[in-house]
Amino acid sequence: FPWFLAVNSGAVPLDDAGVAQYGAKAAQQPHAGRTGVTYNPALSKSAKIMMATTVLYLIIQLPASTEESETTVAADQAKGEHFWALVGLAACIIAFILYLRECIKEANEDKALEAVIEGIKSKQISITAALQFAKTTSKGDLSQTLMNEDAKRLKKIIRPFFAQYDVDCSGHLDVSEFNQLLIELGEKSQGSKVLDKFKEQDKDNSGSLSFDEVAEFLYSFIKDELNNKPCDDQKIQHMMPAYDDDDEEEAIPEDLADLSPAQQLRRVLFRSIWMMGVGTVLVLIFSDPMVDCLSNWGTRTGIPAFYISFVLAPLASNASELLSAYTYAAKKSQKSITTALSTLVGAACMNNTFCFGIFLSLVYFRGLAWQFTAETIAIVLIQWIIGLLTIFMRTHNKLHAAIILLCYPGCLGIVWTLENVLAWD
């Protein structure tokens, strides 16, 4: 439901190619009822992570299925699954740590630099234009020796092409390979000049250059010509994410507006810890009574508690995702809709790693049997459906949103069919 809500609240006109038009373009685009959202490619990567983490369920599900085929006694099943519950718990912890690491890496990623790299790969930006971009955004003076952060930026641009032409993975390029690298980078240069510079950089006369030597070569070669070429800022800007066009700045709360950045950071950290602490206390107080309440509703209505919990529990446990998805999507920008949908995909990744790990710890330490075959199949199948839609379709209209919305009752239908028709647990 949050996905459906996000797409509907964040929908903007689509152009003839079916791509959402944000910012000023939206007002110029006659949509005639054709609306939808287009998110950044980063969401596809998150969807792949979500799908990959569903494999964790198989660690306990496969042994559980084997045990169920051999015995119907829960205690005996639990003994056979005990070791695999521990393996699954360890795998969940590792996956959770890796996921957090990926989130931190994504948060610190240089989006503009990635856009330049993509422009080079599509041959829309030459290495000279990329260096001009590095010059305008660097912290140091690029007329001096290449070092520190600026060196990392340039090397990040060069590395994909270096690896492509380093066929034997030796970590070195000869003259012909290096010329091909320059051509791939879109740099038009004279062969004699390239050869002279190549020899200067080949300090040991080995006839090949290491990656660092190649980076220094490119830097010195382009630096000499940088002042003699017209700036390609417009060409570079064409490849940049349209931050100013369709993304507004986040509003700063009034109580933080007059503070320094360091004070704002401390205040936000304190507020976050305080709110999470209060939330944790509330969960500890009300979670057990809520489970009892849902169980009693099931007993009184004759409906299995699972189905009641499946419908009602998310309204409480996932209310934050619902609210944040709507709030971000309502801003109607590509960045905000990506954030909104990423929140939902991220919640699924957390469920597949952190929450599932807690579940497996209960199975292991309390000697419980895993008897959730139908639920496991439904969870994995629905996540793969949503993941594939996210990976292969960067634009979602209201029809796609409705399909994803139907996955919610569809999941219940799958569980009911597997349990009542196929007699699976």
For every residue of 16-73, DSSP letters joined together read TTS-B--THHHHH---TT-EEEE--THHHHHHHHHHHHTTHHHHHHHHHHHHHHH---
- Looking at residue 72, its pLDDT comes to 80
Give bridge partners of residue 395 from the DSSP assignment. Answer: 38
**240 Cβ contact list (under 8 Å, min separation 6):** 112, 115
Angstrom distance (rounded) from CA 403 to CA 385: 10
391 touches 48 (CB < 8 A)? yes
Q: Which of 383, 358, 354 is nearest to 97 (CA)?
A: 354
279 touches 320 (CB < 8 A)? no
SS (H, E, C) 68-88: HHHCCCHHHHHHHHHHHHHHH
Got the DSSP string for 181-232? HHHHTT----HHHHHHHHHHH-TT--S-EEHHHHHHHHHHHHHHHHTTS---
- Looking at residue 246, its pLDDT comes to 46
Exposure of 27 by Cβ count < 10 A (0-12 exposed, 13-18 middle, 19+ buried)? Answer: exposed
Q: What single-letter DSSP state applies at residue 381?
A: H
- Looking at residue 242, its pLDDT comes to 41
Q: How many CB atoms lie within 10 A of CB 233?
A: 13
For 63-76, b where at least 16 C-beta lie within 10 A, e where not — what string? bbeebbeeeeeeee
- Looking at residue 59, its pLDDT comes to 92
Radius of gyration, alpha carbons of the chain = 27
Q: How many CB atoms lie within 10 A of CB 146?
A: 21
12 touches 22 (CB < 8 A)? yes
Angstrom distance (rounded) from CA 212 to CA 223: 16
**150 Cβ contact list (under 8 Å, min separation 6):** 134, 138, 139, 140, 142
Strands 395-397 and 35-38: antiparallel
273 touches 176 (CB < 8 A)? no
Q: Which residue has the tokens 């001009």?
A: 132
Which residue ranges of the chain lie beneath pLDDT 70?
23-33, 107-154, 160-161, 164, 168, 181-194, 197, 218, 220-254, 256-257, 425
- Looking at residue 239, its pLDDT comes to 44
Q: Which two tokens stand for residue 324?
A: 């944040």
- Cα distances (angstroms) measured from residue 244 to each of 76, 231, 237, 238: 62, 21, 11, 12
| H/E run at residue 13 | strand 12-13
Angstrom distance (rounded) from CA 191 to CA 179: 8
